[in-house]
């Protein structure tokens, strides 16, 4: 069965940050520091999904999806990131999973979508190797409760963005700006992933995947310095995460770090533990030129000549086909089946529910995915980011990715035109097959 779904993440929708024993996450800390997010907005309430989850499951049932990718908040399960489970936290996800199954929707939980328990950040966060082991223990706790009902698990969401935005640029929690000094945060996430795959399987989980966000990299010209910079960007954005997971080795990083002294014997075997699927989040391609200043080995030259979303991101559906066929060309038999675990676009903070541009976006990207499938790429699912307008990290509530509009003053949900379009699209899938 091809999975058609929507995707969300805990901190972006749940709210209820101090309820039922939930611990503090790095995103609670970050959003409450001055100047970190637009207008100082936080996820304290977000979509209040922690209380309105039943209505949200009904919305998905009405939409006709057969899968839902959500994330589990580590600080709800282990408030301090270690030790025994907080029963009420696990109960919440169990209620959600059971309601989804009853509605005929396959739950696809992600164990980490950036909301690290603050207590672990206080010990160095992902710069501290020990956090990888804590993550595997947390994975085991969740799987022990839910593996009998959850057929497919995702370990991490976008370790690249968490490293780059959280530890290299500092625009996301935990707000550190170390540039290439952030590489240990990549390695320890990858190690955590590998250890969690093993822990999940030991606890009876069926299928396990990871979600990487990948971007096709376009050199700004065919001149040597631009080509070199584009290669560097491809290494640091895409291959830094895909190569160790799929091939068991890092790309050549010698130009960026003197030594990989944070890598220990055996780590890469753990990281390369075979997967049942690779999750891919696709938003847009990236155009890269030679560096113009010290620090990073590239400059983002910006993709031009395409329509853009409200966020300013270029809309390039064929980039998805290019990405998928490129992965197949690069990894060959080492590439497991692919799930598009996120794809979508934002409108800005208006009351609009007439989101024609989102319909065009989704239609074009689904067509591009199908073309890649015709070209031999094994894609098994597609999840729209996102079900609901929600807390868009540093942009607060200004960028809205939902198929469903949320009025944050009243929490009223209103399906947008794209919701109705997708519902009709999914109905046609059912009658076609
Ligand atoms: C995802 O990250 C996250 O998983 C999700 O939580 C989030 O809400 C969603 O996407 C929407 O942002 O500067 O024009 O080259 C997406 C990561 C990083 C993808 C920035 C697009 C740059 C666009 N994104 N990237 S551009």
The CATH number given to whatever domain includes residue 420 is 3.20.20.80
Return the residue whose CA atom lies nearest to atom 22 of ligand 1: 313
> How high is the pLDDT of residue 420?
98
Rounded distance from Cα 166 to ligand 1 centre (Å) = 13
Q: If residue 361 lies in a helix (H) or strand (E), which one and from where to where? A: helix 356-374
Q: State both tokens at 72.
A: 């589990």
Arithmetic mean of pLDDT, 338-343: 99
Cβ atoms of 315 and 255 closer than 8 Å: no
Q: Is ligand 1 within 6 A of the CB of residue 213?
A: yes
pLDDT band of residue 273 (cuts 50, 70, 90) is: very high
Q: Over the stretch 355-379, which tens digit does the pLDDT of each residue have?
A: 999 999 999 999 999 999 999 999 9
> Given this model, what pLDDT does residue 291 score?
97
The reported pLDDT for the residue numbered 256 is 86
pLDDT of residue 258: 85
Instruction: State yes or no: is 424 an active-site residue.
Output: no
Q: What is the mean pLDDT of residues 261-282?
A: 98
**Quick check: 139 and 199 in contact, CB under 8 A?**
yes
Phi and psi of 240, rounded to 5°? -55, -30
The string of pLDDT tens digits covering residues 181-205 is 899 999 999 999 999 999 999 999 9
Averaged pLDDT for residues 248-275: 96
Which residues are annotated binding-site positions for substrate? Answer: 12, 113, 157, 283, 385, 392-393
**How far, in Å, CA of 149 to CA of 140, rounded?**
15
Q: How many angstroms separate the alpha carbon of residue 57 from the centre of ligand 1?
A: 25
pLDDT per position as a tens digit, 135-156: 999 999 999 999 999 999 999 9
> Do the beta carbons of residue 217 and residue 288 sit within 8 Å?
yes
Q: Measured between alpha carbons, how far is 42 from 40 in angstroms, rounded to an integer?
A: 7
Half-sphere exposure in the Cβ direction for 79 (13 Å, CA): 11
Residue 387 Cα to ligand 1 middle (Å): 16
Contact yes or no for 53/103 (Cβ under 8 A): no
Domain count, the chain: 1
CA dist., res. 311 & res. 398, Å (int): 9
pLDDT tens for residues 78-122? 999 999 999 999 999 999 999 999 999 999 999 999 999 999 999
pLDDT, residue 257, reads: 86
Q: What is the pLDDT of residue 432?
A: 67
Containing structural domain, residue 160: 3-431
Lowest mean pLDDT among 176-185, 307-316, 337-346: 176-185
> 102, 121, 224, 342: which one is catalytic?
342
Q: What is the pLDDT of residue 433?
A: 52
pTM of the predicted protein model: 0.98
Q: Determine the Cα–Cα distance for residues 71 and 82; give it in Å rounded to an integer.
A: 18
Would you say the CB of residue 215 lies under 6 angstroms from ligand 1? no
Q: Ligand 1 pocket, 283 CB below 6 A?
A: yes
Say yes or no to pLDDT of 431 above 80: no
Cα 337 to Cα 233: distance, rounded to the nearest angstrom: 25
Element at 324 (helix H, strand E): helix 318-331
For ligand 1, say whether the CB of 310 is within 6 Å of any of its atoms: no
Residue of 25, 161, 304 to mutate, ligand 1, most atoms within 8 A of C-beta: 161
385 within ligand 1 shell (Cβ under 6 A): yes
Candidate from 283, 299, 309, 403 with most ligand 1 atoms within 8 A of CB, to mutate = 283
Is 158 designated active site?
yes
Given the structure tokens 């200004």, which residue do they identify? 398
Among protein residues, the one whose CA lies closest to atom 21 of ligand 1 = 283
């Amino acid at each position: 069965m091809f999975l058609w779904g929507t995707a969300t993440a805990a901190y972006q929708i749940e709210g209820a940050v101090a309820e039922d024993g939930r611990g503090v996450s790095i995103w609670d800390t970050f959003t409450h520091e001055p100047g970190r997010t637009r207008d100082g907005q936080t996820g304290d309430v977000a979509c209040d999904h922690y209380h309105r989850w039943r209505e949200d499951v009904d919305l998905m049932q009405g939409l006709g999806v057969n899968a839902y990718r959500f994330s589990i908040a580590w600080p709800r399960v282990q408030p301090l990131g270690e030790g025994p489970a907080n029963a009420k936290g696990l109960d919440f996800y169990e209620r959600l999973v059971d309601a989804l199954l009853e509605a005929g929707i396959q739950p696809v939980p992600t164990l980490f979508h950036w909301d690290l328990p603050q207590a672990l950040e206080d010990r160095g966060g992902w710069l501290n190797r020990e956090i990888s082991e804590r993550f595997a223990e947390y994975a085991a706790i969740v799987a022990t409760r839910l593996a009998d009902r959850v057929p497919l698990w995702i370990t991490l969401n976008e370790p690249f963005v968490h490293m780059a935005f959280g530890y290299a640029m500092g625009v996301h929690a935990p707000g550190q700006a170390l540039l290439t000094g952030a590489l240990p945060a990549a390695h320890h996430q990858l190690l955590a992933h590998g250890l969690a795959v093993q822990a999940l399987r030991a606890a009876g989980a069926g299928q396990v995947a990871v979600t990487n966000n990948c971007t096709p990299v376009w050199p700004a010209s065919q001149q040597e310095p631009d080509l070199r910079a584009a290669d560097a960007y491809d290494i640091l954005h895409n291959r830094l995460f895909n190569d160790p997971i799929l091939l068991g080795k890092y790309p050549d990083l010698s130009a960026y770090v003197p030594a990989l002294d944070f890598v220990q014997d055996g780590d890469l075997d753990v990281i390369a533990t075979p997967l049942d699927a690779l999750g891919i989040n696709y938003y847009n391609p990236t155009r890269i030129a030679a560096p113009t200043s010290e620090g990073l080995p590239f400059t983002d030259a910006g993709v031009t000549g395409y329509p853009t979303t409200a966020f300013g991101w270029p809309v390039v559906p064929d980039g998805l086909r290019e990405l998928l066929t490129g992965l197949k060309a690069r990894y060959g038999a080492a590439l497991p089946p692919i799930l598009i675990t996120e794809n979508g676009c934002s409108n800005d903070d208006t009351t609009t529910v007439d989101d024609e541009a989102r319909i065009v976006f989704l239609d074009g990207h689904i067509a591009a995915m199908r073309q890649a499938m015709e070209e031999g790429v094994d894609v098994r699912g597609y999840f729209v980011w996102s079900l609901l307008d929600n807390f868009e990290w540093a942009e607060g509530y200004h960028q809205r990715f939902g198929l469903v509009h949320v009025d944050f003053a009243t929490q009223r949900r209103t399906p947008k035109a794209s919701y109705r379009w997708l519902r009709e699209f999914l109905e046609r899938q059912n009658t076609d097959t």
